[in-house]
């Protein structure tokens, strides 16, 4: 991987994305072995620097690093000096001085990983910044879609829910429109950000609708987003009940999609808010496949960043 940091999908080329996905596919097998560990990254130090609560992404990176034999250190905001008033930059420089090879950062402020990347020698992976990007999520989603659908182009992908606050929606829209899949962003008018029609370079593949039916009609992929209550400081919809009525995924609504459609969710799910439990646990759900793909994709990224060559 030529670039120093992985900060977002927007700037990645298709070739760079394919390199990661192909590498992830070759590494997937490691996780099925009885001894799930290879010595590839022995002696490399990966620091998970998480300023925002996360269980699955942090664990996924940690497992990915450990399966490649890297030394993985978890730093969370509550235990680091950040709470003592140290600045983001000082924290990053401190970790840099400890000769970290890679810093995986999750932060509630959009752009925080970019600031850190400019200041550190260590390579930086964005594990989600504010409402900006979550590139590893989009990559693991792409791997899941490719393995289920056999391709990334020519699909209709409905991304439904809290678009305004979603870095997952942004990264996925960037990635899938690069392949010419049609991405339908669907949300209540209050959660559809201004100017989102200009979000991606390939505008002709990006569609916006407030109608869940329109988004789901003939969809190959249904991607549900978590309603991010913690980022909402104002009234975007009247109640959870009303939200679920219009934007919750039910079995009846799934019927509008193609028969072989897959249902995705980046997690953690709010069951009964954006997705009905029977759908989340139903036959079309690939939510747990996404989790497995996440480990493989993160292994691939660490492998490519810390000296590995793609085969």
Partner 1 sequence: MNLLVKNGRVVDPARKMDIVTDILIRDGKIRSIGKIDNADVPKFDATGFVVAPGFFDIHVHLREPGTEEAETIATGGAAAVAGGFVAVAAMPNTKPPNDNPSITAYICAEARRASPALVFPIGAITKEQKGETLAEIGEMVEAGIAGISDDGKPVMDGRLFRRALEYAQLFDLPVIQHCEDLNLSRGGVMNEGAMSTRLGLKGMPAAAEDTMVSRDLILAEMTGGKYHVAHLSTRRAVEMVRAAKAQGMKITAEVTPHHFTLTDAAVSEYDTNAKMNPPLRTQDDVNALHAGVTDGTIDVIASDHAPHHVNLKMLEFDRAPFGITGLETAVGLALTQLKLSLSRAIELFSLNPQKIMRVQKWGIFEGSDAHLTILDPGRQWKFDVTRSRSKSRNSPFDGWQLKGKAVGTIVGGRVVYEDRN
Which residues are known to be catalytic?
56-57, 84, 106, 134
Name residues contacting partner 1, limited to 3-22 (CB under 8 A): 10
31-39, 109-117, 204-212, 282-290 -> range binding partner 1 (CB under 8 A): 109-117
**54 touches partner 1 by CB under 8 A:** no
Q: Which of 123, 170, 226, 265 touches partner 1 (CB under 8 A)?
A: 170
Span of 39-47, 108-116, 221-229, 291-299 interacting with partner 1 by CB under 8 A: 108-116
Residue closer to partner 1, measured from CB, 45 or 166: 166
Please report, for residues 28, 144, 165, 301, 311, the alpha-carbon distance to residue 20 in angstroms, rounded to integers and kept in the order given. Answer: 12, 13, 26, 6, 11
Nearer to partner 1, 198 or 259 (CB): 198
Minimum distance from residue 83 beta carbon to partner 1 (Å): 14
- Residue 274 contacts partner 1 per CB under 8 A: no
| Stretch touching partner 1 by CB under 8 A, among 196-204, 208-216, 260-268, 301-309 | 196-204
- Between residues 89 and 291, which has the closer beta carbon with respect to partner 1? 89
Provide the binding-site residues for partner 1, judged by CB under 8 A. Answer: 10, 87-89, 107, 109-112, 114-115, 129-133, 167, 170, 193-199, 233-234
């Amino acid at each position: 991987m030529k670039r120093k940091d992985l900060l977002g999908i927007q700037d990645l080329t298709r070739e760079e994305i394919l390199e990661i996905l192909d590498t992830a596919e070759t590494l997937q097998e490691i996780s099925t072995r009885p001894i799930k560990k290879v010595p590839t990254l022995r002696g490399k130090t990966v620091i998970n620097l998480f300023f925002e609560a996360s269980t699955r992404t942090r664990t996924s990176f940690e497992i990915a690093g450990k399966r490649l034999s890297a030394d993985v250190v978890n730093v969370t905001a509550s235990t680091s000096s950040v709470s003592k008033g140290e600045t983001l930059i000082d924290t990053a420089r401190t970790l840099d001085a400890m000769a970290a090879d890679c810093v995986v950062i999750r932060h509630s402020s959009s752009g925080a990983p970019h600031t850190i990347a400019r200041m550190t020698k260590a390579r930086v992976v964005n594990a989600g910044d504010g409402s900006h990007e979550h590139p590893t999520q989009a990559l693991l989603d792409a791997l899941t879609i490719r393995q289920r659908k056999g391709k990334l182009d020519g699909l209709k992908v409905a991304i439904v829910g809290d678009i305004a606050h979603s870095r997952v929606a942004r990264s996925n829209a960037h990635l899938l429109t690069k392949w010419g899949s049609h991405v339908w962003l669907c949300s209540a008018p209050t959660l559809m950000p201004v100017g989102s029609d200009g979000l991606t370079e390939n505008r002709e593949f990006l569609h916006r609708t407030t109608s869940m039916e329109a988004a789901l009609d003939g969809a190959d992929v249904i991607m549900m987003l978590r309603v991010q209550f913690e980022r909402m400081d104002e009234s975007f919809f009247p109640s959870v009940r009303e939200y679920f009525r219009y934007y919750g995924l039910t079995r009846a609504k799934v019927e509008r999609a193609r028969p072989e459609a897959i249902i995705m969710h980046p997690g953690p799910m709010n069951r009964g808010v954006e997705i009905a439990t029977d759908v989340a646990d139903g036959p079309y759900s690939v939510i747990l496949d996404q989790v497995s793909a996440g480990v493989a994709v993160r292994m691939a990224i660490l492998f490519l960043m810390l000296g590995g060559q793609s085969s």
